Amino acid sequence: MIKYGLSTLIVFAIIWGTVSNVSADWGDALKLLEKGTEKLIQHKDAFIEINEPREIELGEGMSAQLLGAAPLVDNRELQQYVNDVGLWLALQTERPDLPWHFGVLDDNDINAFAAPGGYIFISKGLFMLMRNESEFAGVLAHEISHVLVKHHLEDIREKAQSGIMKDIGSVAAAELAGPKWQQVARQLINTGVDVWESGLNRDDELEADELGVVIAARAGYDPYGLVGVLHTLSLISPQAKSYKLMHATHPRAMDRVERLEQAMQGQLDIYSDQVQVTGRLIKLQQLLEEDKA
Protein backbone atom coordinates (compact mmCIF):
# COMPACT_ATOMS: atom_id res chain seq x y z
CA MET A 1 0.00 0.00 0.00
CA ILE A 2 1.37 3.41 -0.93
CA LYS A 3 1.67 5.76 2.03
CA TYR A 4 0.20 9.28 1.99
CA GLY A 5 0.66 12.27 4.25
CA LEU A 6 -1.07 11.92 7.61
CA SER A 7 -2.71 15.32 7.26
CA THR A 8 -4.31 14.33 3.96
CA LEU A 9 -5.71 11.11 5.43
CA ILE A 10 -7.03 12.98 8.46
CA VAL A 11 -8.85 15.39 6.14
CA PHE A 12 -10.35 12.40 4.30
CA ALA A 13 -11.50 10.88 7.60
CA ILE A 14 -13.03 14.08 8.95
CA ILE A 15 -14.81 15.27 5.81
CA TRP A 16 -15.89 12.04 4.16
CA GLY A 17 -18.09 9.28 5.49
CA THR A 18 -19.63 6.14 4.10
CA VAL A 19 -23.18 5.27 3.22
CA SER A 20 -25.02 1.99 2.96
CA ASN A 21 -26.26 0.67 -0.35
CA VAL A 22 -29.91 1.30 -1.18
CA SER A 23 -32.10 -0.05 -3.92
CA ALA A 24 -35.19 1.27 -5.62
CA ASP A 25 -37.67 -0.03 -8.10
CA TRP A 26 -37.46 2.36 -11.04
CA GLY A 27 -40.21 0.60 -12.99
CA ASP A 28 -40.15 0.97 -16.76
CA ALA A 29 -37.18 3.18 -17.66
CA LEU A 30 -37.22 5.42 -20.66
CA LYS A 31 -35.21 4.27 -23.64
CA LEU A 32 -32.47 6.77 -22.94
CA LEU A 33 -32.11 5.56 -19.37
CA GLU A 34 -31.84 2.00 -20.68
CA LYS A 35 -29.25 3.10 -23.20
CA GLY A 36 -27.23 4.72 -20.43
CA THR A 37 -27.36 1.57 -18.32
CA GLU A 38 -26.21 -0.53 -21.27
CA LYS A 39 -23.20 1.75 -21.72
CA LEU A 40 -22.26 1.40 -18.07
CA ILE A 41 -22.49 -2.40 -18.25
CA GLN A 42 -20.42 -2.50 -21.43
CA HIS A 43 -17.60 -0.70 -19.61
CA LYS A 44 -17.93 -2.67 -16.37
CA ASP A 45 -14.98 -4.99 -17.03
CA ALA A 46 -12.75 -2.43 -18.71
CA PHE A 47 -9.13 -2.34 -17.54
CA ILE A 48 -9.40 -5.66 -15.68
CA GLU A 49 -5.63 -5.69 -15.07
CA ILE A 50 -6.19 -3.25 -12.19
CA ASN A 51 -8.64 -4.68 -9.68
CA GLU A 52 -11.00 -2.51 -7.67
CA PRO A 53 -8.89 -2.19 -4.48
CA ARG A 54 -5.97 -1.00 -6.58
CA GLU A 55 -8.19 1.30 -8.60
CA ILE A 56 -9.21 2.90 -5.31
CA GLU A 57 -5.59 3.11 -4.21
CA LEU A 58 -4.60 4.90 -7.41
CA GLY A 59 -7.47 7.34 -6.99
CA GLU A 60 -6.41 8.04 -3.42
CA GLY A 61 -2.87 8.74 -4.59
CA MET A 62 -4.02 11.10 -7.34
CA SER A 63 -6.34 12.85 -4.88
CA ALA A 64 -3.52 13.33 -2.38
CA GLN A 65 -1.47 15.12 -5.04
CA LEU A 66 -4.42 17.30 -6.02
CA LEU A 67 -5.14 18.23 -2.40
CA GLY A 68 -1.49 19.10 -1.95
CA ALA A 69 -1.91 21.78 -4.60
CA ALA A 70 -5.46 22.88 -3.75
CA PRO A 71 -6.79 21.90 -0.30
CA LEU A 72 -10.47 21.51 0.50
CA VAL A 73 -12.43 24.60 1.46
CA ASP A 74 -12.39 24.84 5.25
CA ASN A 75 -16.16 24.66 5.68
CA ARG A 76 -17.68 21.50 7.11
CA GLU A 77 -21.22 22.41 6.05
CA LEU A 78 -20.12 22.88 2.44
CA GLN A 79 -18.20 19.60 2.38
CA GLN A 80 -21.14 17.77 3.95
CA TYR A 81 -23.43 19.24 1.30
CA VAL A 82 -21.31 18.11 -1.65
CA ASN A 83 -21.09 14.63 -0.12
CA ASP A 84 -24.85 14.48 0.50
CA VAL A 85 -25.62 15.30 -3.13
CA GLY A 86 -22.75 13.28 -4.56
CA LEU A 87 -23.44 10.12 -2.59
CA TRP A 88 -27.13 10.20 -3.49
CA LEU A 89 -26.18 10.40 -7.16
CA ALA A 90 -23.58 7.64 -6.82
CA LEU A 91 -26.16 5.32 -5.27
CA GLN A 92 -28.16 5.48 -8.49
CA THR A 93 -25.30 3.98 -10.51
CA GLU A 94 -23.96 0.53 -11.27
CA ARG A 95 -21.07 1.06 -8.80
CA PRO A 96 -22.82 2.16 -5.59
CA ASP A 97 -20.44 0.26 -3.33
CA LEU A 98 -17.31 2.22 -4.21
CA PRO A 99 -16.06 4.33 -1.28
CA TRP A 100 -17.25 7.53 -2.94
CA HIS A 101 -15.64 10.76 -1.72
CA PHE A 102 -16.58 14.29 -2.76
CA GLY A 103 -14.99 17.63 -1.99
CA VAL A 104 -14.96 21.32 -2.91
CA LEU A 105 -11.44 22.60 -3.57
CA ASP A 106 -10.29 25.99 -2.30
CA ASP A 107 -9.51 27.11 -5.83
CA ASN A 108 -11.12 29.98 -7.74
CA ASP A 109 -10.39 28.42 -11.12
CA ILE A 110 -13.37 26.85 -12.88
CA ASN A 111 -12.87 23.10 -12.99
CA ALA A 112 -13.84 19.68 -11.68
CA PHE A 113 -11.87 16.45 -11.34
CA ALA A 114 -12.57 12.73 -11.11
CA ALA A 115 -10.08 10.11 -9.95
CA PRO A 116 -10.38 6.31 -10.19
CA GLY A 117 -12.15 4.57 -7.34
CA GLY A 118 -14.74 7.25 -6.61
CA TYR A 119 -12.89 10.49 -5.82
CA ILE A 120 -14.70 13.58 -7.13
CA PHE A 121 -13.71 17.23 -6.70
CA ILE A 122 -15.26 20.50 -7.84
CA SER A 123 -13.46 23.82 -7.53
CA LYS A 124 -14.90 26.66 -5.50
CA GLY A 125 -14.86 28.75 -8.68
CA LEU A 126 -17.18 26.32 -10.47
CA PHE A 127 -19.38 25.82 -7.40
CA MET A 128 -20.03 29.57 -7.25
CA LEU A 129 -21.45 29.47 -10.80
CA MET A 130 -24.19 27.00 -9.89
CA ARG A 131 -27.73 28.47 -9.91
CA ASN A 132 -29.58 25.52 -8.39
CA GLU A 133 -29.01 22.01 -7.09
CA SER A 134 -29.90 20.37 -10.41
CA GLU A 135 -26.99 22.18 -12.05
CA PHE A 136 -24.70 21.13 -9.22
CA ALA A 137 -25.92 17.54 -9.52
CA GLY A 138 -25.33 17.64 -13.27
CA VAL A 139 -21.68 18.54 -12.79
CA LEU A 140 -21.15 15.86 -10.13
CA ALA A 141 -22.96 13.24 -12.24
CA HIS A 142 -20.67 14.02 -15.19
CA GLU A 143 -17.60 13.39 -13.02
CA ILE A 144 -19.17 10.27 -11.48
CA SER A 145 -19.63 8.93 -15.02
CA HIS A 146 -15.89 9.15 -15.67
CA VAL A 147 -15.34 6.86 -12.68
CA LEU A 148 -18.10 4.45 -13.65
CA VAL A 149 -16.69 3.70 -17.09
CA LYS A 150 -13.05 4.04 -15.98
CA HIS A 151 -12.10 6.73 -18.46
CA HIS A 152 -9.05 7.81 -16.50
CA LEU A 153 -7.78 4.27 -15.92
CA GLU A 154 -7.99 3.52 -19.63
CA ASP A 155 -6.22 6.76 -20.53
CA ILE A 156 -3.53 6.18 -17.91
CA ARG A 157 -2.81 2.77 -19.38
CA GLU A 158 -2.51 4.18 -22.90
CA LYS A 159 -0.14 6.93 -21.82
CA ALA A 160 2.09 4.81 -19.55
CA GLN A 161 4.06 2.97 -22.23
CA SER A 162 7.66 3.23 -21.06
CA GLY A 163 9.83 1.33 -18.57
CA ILE A 164 8.05 -1.03 -16.19
CA MET A 165 4.71 0.08 -17.63
CA LYS A 166 5.32 -2.01 -20.75
CA ASP A 167 4.51 -5.05 -18.63
CA ILE A 168 1.25 -3.82 -17.17
CA GLY A 169 -0.84 -5.00 -20.12
CA SER A 170 0.31 -8.61 -19.83
CA VAL A 171 0.74 -8.98 -16.08
CA ALA A 172 -2.35 -9.77 -14.05
CA ALA A 173 -3.01 -7.54 -11.06
CA ALA A 174 -2.58 -10.50 -8.71
CA GLU A 175 0.99 -10.94 -9.95
CA LEU A 176 1.92 -7.35 -9.17
CA ALA A 177 2.76 -7.42 -5.49
CA GLY A 178 4.95 -5.69 -2.95
CA PRO A 179 7.67 -3.35 -4.21
CA LYS A 180 6.85 -4.08 -7.85
CA TRP A 181 3.25 -2.93 -7.43
CA GLN A 182 4.33 0.15 -5.46
CA GLN A 183 6.70 1.11 -8.27
CA VAL A 184 4.01 0.61 -10.89
CA ALA A 185 1.41 2.45 -8.79
CA ARG A 186 3.63 5.51 -8.36
CA GLN A 187 4.04 5.74 -12.11
CA LEU A 188 0.33 5.25 -12.69
CA ILE A 189 -0.53 7.98 -10.17
CA ASN A 190 1.87 10.46 -11.78
CA THR A 191 0.47 9.59 -15.19
CA GLY A 192 -3.05 10.12 -13.85
CA VAL A 193 -2.16 13.61 -12.67
CA ASP A 194 -0.78 14.31 -16.16
CA VAL A 195 -4.11 13.18 -17.62
CA TRP A 196 -5.86 15.89 -15.60
CA GLU A 197 -3.56 18.48 -17.16
CA SER A 198 -3.82 17.19 -20.73
CA GLY A 199 -7.49 16.19 -20.58
CA LEU A 200 -9.43 13.14 -21.66
CA ASN A 201 -10.39 12.70 -25.28
CA ARG A 202 -13.47 14.36 -26.73
CA ASP A 203 -15.51 11.15 -26.91
CA ASP A 204 -14.93 10.41 -23.21
CA GLU A 205 -16.18 13.86 -22.21
CA LEU A 206 -19.25 13.61 -24.42
CA GLU A 207 -20.02 10.13 -23.11
CA ALA A 208 -19.76 11.41 -19.52
CA ASP A 209 -22.26 14.14 -20.41
CA GLU A 210 -24.76 11.59 -21.75
CA LEU A 211 -24.39 9.22 -18.81
CA GLY A 212 -24.45 12.12 -16.36
CA VAL A 213 -27.93 13.25 -17.40
CA VAL A 214 -29.14 9.67 -16.97
CA ILE A 215 -27.77 9.54 -13.43
CA ALA A 216 -29.27 12.95 -12.59
CA ALA A 217 -32.69 11.82 -13.84
CA ARG A 218 -32.49 8.61 -11.82
CA ALA A 219 -31.73 10.67 -8.71
CA GLY A 220 -34.80 12.86 -9.23
CA TYR A 221 -33.01 15.93 -10.57
CA ASP A 222 -33.82 17.92 -13.68
CA PRO A 223 -31.57 16.22 -16.28
CA TYR A 224 -31.18 19.55 -18.06
CA GLY A 225 -29.20 20.92 -15.11
CA LEU A 226 -25.93 20.12 -16.86
CA VAL A 227 -27.16 21.92 -19.98
CA GLY A 228 -27.73 25.00 -17.84
CA VAL A 229 -24.15 24.87 -16.58
CA LEU A 230 -22.82 24.49 -20.12
CA HIS A 231 -24.77 27.56 -21.23
CA THR A 232 -23.18 29.50 -18.35
CA LEU A 233 -19.71 28.29 -19.33
CA SER A 234 -20.30 29.27 -22.95
CA LEU A 235 -20.54 32.91 -21.84
CA ILE A 236 -17.06 32.89 -20.26
CA SER A 237 -14.16 34.04 -22.40
CA PRO A 238 -11.76 31.20 -23.27
CA GLN A 239 -9.00 33.65 -22.41
CA ALA A 240 -10.21 34.11 -18.84
CA LYS A 241 -7.43 32.90 -16.56
CA SER A 242 -9.82 30.97 -14.33
CA TYR A 243 -11.29 29.07 -17.29
CA LYS A 244 -8.22 28.34 -19.42
CA LEU A 245 -7.52 24.80 -18.21
CA MET A 246 -11.13 23.64 -18.39
CA HIS A 247 -11.57 25.20 -21.83
CA ALA A 248 -8.37 23.55 -23.07
CA THR A 249 -9.28 20.08 -21.77
CA HIS A 250 -12.97 19.88 -22.75
CA PRO A 251 -15.00 20.21 -25.95
CA ARG A 252 -16.63 23.61 -26.53
CA ALA A 253 -19.55 24.10 -24.17
CA MET A 254 -22.13 24.66 -26.92
CA ASP A 255 -20.85 21.64 -28.86
CA ARG A 256 -21.61 19.60 -25.74
CA VAL A 257 -25.09 21.11 -25.51
CA GLU A 258 -25.82 20.21 -29.14
CA ARG A 259 -24.58 16.66 -28.61
CA LEU A 260 -26.73 16.25 -25.50
CA GLU A 261 -29.82 17.57 -27.24
CA GLN A 262 -29.26 15.12 -30.09
CA ALA A 263 -28.80 12.25 -27.64
CA MET A 264 -31.78 13.06 -25.44
CA GLN A 265 -34.24 13.99 -28.23
CA GLY A 266 -36.72 15.11 -25.60
CA GLN A 267 -36.90 11.67 -24.00
CA LEU A 268 -36.03 13.09 -20.57
CA ASP A 269 -38.53 15.96 -20.72
CA ILE A 270 -40.75 14.05 -18.31
CA TYR A 271 -38.08 14.56 -15.63
CA SER A 272 -37.52 18.26 -16.34
CA ASP A 273 -40.36 19.59 -14.16
CA GLN A 274 -38.60 18.75 -10.90
CA VAL A 275 -38.74 21.42 -8.21
CA GLN A 276 -35.55 23.46 -8.39
CA VAL A 277 -33.93 23.32 -4.96
CA THR A 278 -31.78 26.37 -4.28
CA GLY A 279 -31.89 27.17 -0.55
CA ARG A 280 -28.93 25.23 0.80
CA LEU A 281 -26.75 25.92 -2.23
CA ILE A 282 -27.40 29.67 -2.22
CA LYS A 283 -26.80 29.83 1.53
CA LEU A 284 -23.40 28.19 1.14
CA GLN A 285 -22.48 30.44 -1.77
CA GLN A 286 -23.32 33.47 0.38
CA LEU A 287 -21.13 32.15 3.20
CA LEU A 288 -18.24 31.73 0.79
CA GLU A 289 -18.74 35.28 -0.47
CA GLU A 290 -18.71 36.58 3.10
CA ASP A 291 -15.51 34.68 3.85
CA LYS A 292 -13.90 36.29 0.80
CA ALA A 293 -14.92 39.80 1.85
123 three-class SS:
strand
Q: Indicate if the pLDDT at residue 96 is higher than 80.
A: yes
Residue that wins the pLDDT comparison between 140 and 275: 140
Which run of H or E residues covers position 289? helix 279-292
Q: Indicate if the pLDDT at residue 26 is higher than 70.
A: no
Spell out the domain ranges in the chain. 25-292
- CA distance linking residue 101 with residue 240, whole number of Å: 29
pLDDT of residue 1: 43
| Over residues 189-215, mean pLDDT | 92
* Average per-residue pLDDT for the chain: 81
Q: Indicate if the pLDDT at residue 47 is higher than 60.
A: no
**Residue positions counted in the chain:** 293
Which residue in 244, 208, 292 sits closest to 111, CA to CA? 244
Q: What percent of the chain lies above the pLDDT cut of 90?
A: 54
pLDDT band for position 7 (50/70/90)?
A: very low
Q: Model's pTM, two decimal places?
A: 0.80
Q: Indicate if the pLDDT at residue 93 is higher than 80.
A: yes
pLDDT of residue 165: 55
Residues 6 or more apart whose Cβ sits within 8 Å of residue 185 = 2, 54, 57, 58, 61
Q: Indicate if the pLDDT at residue 177 is higher than 60.
A: yes
Q: Which amino acid is at 184?
A: V
Q: Indicate if the pLDDT at residue 226 is higher than 60.
A: yes
Q: Indicate if the pLDDT at residue 33 is higher than 50.
A: yes
> Does residue 265 come out as left (phi exceeding 0), alpha (psi in the -120 to 50 range) or beta?
left
Q: Cβ(184)–Cβ(165) under 8 Å?
A: yes
pLDDT in tens, 58-92: 999 999 999 999 999 999 999 999 999 999 999 99
pLDDT of residue 6: 34
pLDDT of residue 171: 52
Task: Give the DSSP letter of residue 27.
Answer: -
pLDDT of residue 185: 86
